[in-house]
Structure 1
Amino acid sequence: MVKLELDQVVIRRMKEEDIEVVKALIKEGCEGTENRLILHILTRPFCLFILAVFSSVLRCLVHSFVLALAIPVFLLIVFLKITMPRSTGVLGSSKPYWDYVGSSYKGKQDETLQNLYCRISGKTPVTKKPRRRIGAKDRDKDMSAEKITPEREQAAGHVWLGDCEGEVLGCIFRESETRPGVRRICRVVTSCWYRREGLGRLLVQSLEQRERETGAHRVYAHVPYPSKLGEAFFKKLGYLQLGEENNEEDSDEINLETPERGFLGYPLTKVFYKDL
């Protein structure tokens, strides 16, 4: 665990040269999430019933009871492994995949969020040039050659990075605006070396501050279904789970803000909201 000075963190938009670093951070952050989601789906009653039916049919063809039981489970796990990875990285997005190139910032000067801790300490965070990985130059040339239309850039959403002395420590994904006054957080990830240091809270609160200033009145956050840590994190920040309180407003919002669903329509995310 590394001690992090939050007032020295710069929260800036992701650029094209940051894409590979962000993807690696997302991969690190969702380790185990895919397996937990698969286990969650496999243990649903209807899914167990379907597996039992297939096992009964196979029992007539296969003399081994163990094989008849294991084959349907194995095939379903393979199917889920193939179809699920595209969404486990950035769960909650209304699109099947995240447009990293389209959501990258194209300006020369960094677009930044206000660091709330700087107002307390009075310090100014220092911005350094991001560290580059070996072989990233060729990939940057390929990506920069891709043309980005204003429509694609607007629909891609934003990715904000927590940067300290040129090192990306965490990121937060905000989807493009689909409804006026409403924003959606799809993913919050921090590096394993900087967890429980308040970085995730800083990213969320700084983004909330910006969205409040731009006229948003409600923020939604999609949390992977088996993630108890993510659920506790957003509840601690004042978020409420959609549907827990039975009122007319919630029933209307449930129809508009639906969780991402996977095999047999089982939810992969829980939806939380906060009024700004």
Structure 2
Amino acid sequence: MRLDLGNVVLRRMKEEDIEAVKALIKEGCEGTENRLILHLLTRPLALLLLAMLSSVLRFVVHSFIVALLIPVFLVIVYLKLTIPRSTGILGSSRTYWDYLGSSFGAGAEPALPNPHAARAGLVVGPEKARRRKKAREKGQTGERADERQLQERARVAGEVWVADSEGEVLGCVARDGRSRQGAFRVCRLAVQSWYRRKGLGKLLVEGLEARARQGGARRVYAHVPFPSKVGETFFRKLGYRLYGETSGLQGEEEEEEEEEEDYGGPEKGWLGLPLTKVFVKDL
């Protein structure tokens, strides 16, 4: 489908957007969990452990195939229950299903910068602004939690931003709630399948980077699921490098600085095996 990036508004997620954001995350995570499980099962340490368990079971079960399949089946069930689904989309171990806190105070947040809109001379007229306000008021149904509870949930959820085009949520990206002074973490990046490879993901990430830079951030981290070559290529094109890599000019000093600011260590899974690759970019 055709997409005019000049008509895209990067705004904070509102309450009425929560279900659309959940659907985006679910679509983006599809298949990632199974690829992660396959990745973990094929690590040398995991293969050695499974072989040892199979050897022990061989004395109890008089079938080599059954003795081999039982440990594999049990490990798969365990991984299905323990791998956080949020890891599939630059996730974090934070609760991925509760976005209500992130919408707290969304109306007061200015939109992220969109250079395409500036070139196109995009202006939000009074009538369009009135329709958006009416839609927002219509979507705010049900009772809201008290302000203190929402503030706490907002701290955990972080900031979720959506790409809005004519009222339709096309993509989302989040700044993790654990972001600290001088560094932050991009997570929950997802784009509708119809609008991928059209520059929307790049627009979301660069808009969030620009906002963080204005707030004094010096470094940004992003986690990519280990089997994802697409995610790795995407972030390398945006100027990110794999955590631990050096540019050659900074050398050992850069490595020492990263060790001290280990904000983006990889997510760990079964047997302490990494689930994600960490990419970092200096702003």
Give the alignment's TM-score, normalised by structure 2.
0.86
**Alpha-carbon separation, structure 1, partners of 2:95 and 2:61:** 38
Change (3 A) 1:108 1:179: closer
What residue is the counterpart of 2:185 in the other structure?
Answer: 184
What residue is the counterpart of 1:31 in the other structure?
Answer: 30
**Alpha-carbon separation, structure 2, partners of 1:106 and 1:265:** 38
Q: State whether residues 222 and 279 of structure 2, in contact with CA within 8 Å, keep that contact through their aligned partners in structure 1.
A: yes
User: Which residue type is aligned with residue 200 of structure 2?
Assistant: L
What residue is the counterpart of 2:271 in the other structure?
Answer: 264
Provide structure 1 residue ranges, at least 5 long, that are not aligned to the other structure.
none
Segment drifting more, 230-239 vs 95-104 = 95-104
**Alpha-carbon separation, structure 1, partners of 2:115 and 2:274:** 34
Provide structure 2 residue ranges, at least 5 long, that are not aligned to the other structure.
none
**Alpha-carbon separation, structure 1, partners of 2:108 and 2:244:** 42
What residue is the counterpart of 2:280 in the other structure?
Answer: 273
What residue is the counterpart of 2:142 in the other structure?
Answer: 141
**Alpha-carbon separation, structure 2, partners of 1:115 and 1:271:** 26
Indicate the RMSD between aligned Cα atoms, in angstroms: 2.6
Segment drifting more, 115-124 vs 51-60 = 115-124
User: Which residue type is aligned with residue 32 of structure 1?
Assistant: G
Q: Answer yes or no: is 1:72 the counterpart of 2:71.
A: yes
Deviations for 1:208-236, whole angstroms, at most 9, x for unmatched residues?
A: 11111111111111111111000000100
**Alpha-carbon separation, structure 1, partners of 2:150 and 2:13:** 17
Change (3 A) 1:72 1:33: same
Count of equivalent residues: 270
What residue is the counterpart of 1:238 in the other structure?
Answer: 239
Q: State whether residues 92 and 259 of structure 1, in contact with CA within 8 Å, keep that contact through their aligned partners in structure 2.
A: no
Deviations for 1:46-79, whole angstroms, at most 9, x for unmatched residues?
A: 0001100111111111111111111111111111
Sequence identity (%): 57
Change (3 A) 1:200 1:178: closer
Deviation at 1:178, TM superposition (A): 3.7
Deviation at 1:123, TM superposition (A): 2.5
Please give the secondary structure, in 2, of the residue aligned with 1:183.
strand
Q: State whether residues 201 and 237 of structure 1, in contact with CA within 8 Å, keep that contact through their aligned partners in structure 2.
A: yes
Deviations for 1:77-108, whole angstroms, at most 9, x for unmatched residues?
A: 11111111444355442535464121123344
Please give the secondary structure, in 2, of the residue aligned with 1:197.
coil
**Alpha-carbon separation, structure 1, partners of 2:271 and 2:219:** 30
What residue is the counterpart of 1:250 in the other structure?
Answer: 255
Give the alignment's TM-score, normalised by structure 1.
0.88
What residue is the counterpart of 2:227 in the other structure?
Answer: 226
User: Which residue type is aligned with residue 103 of structure 1?
Assistant: S
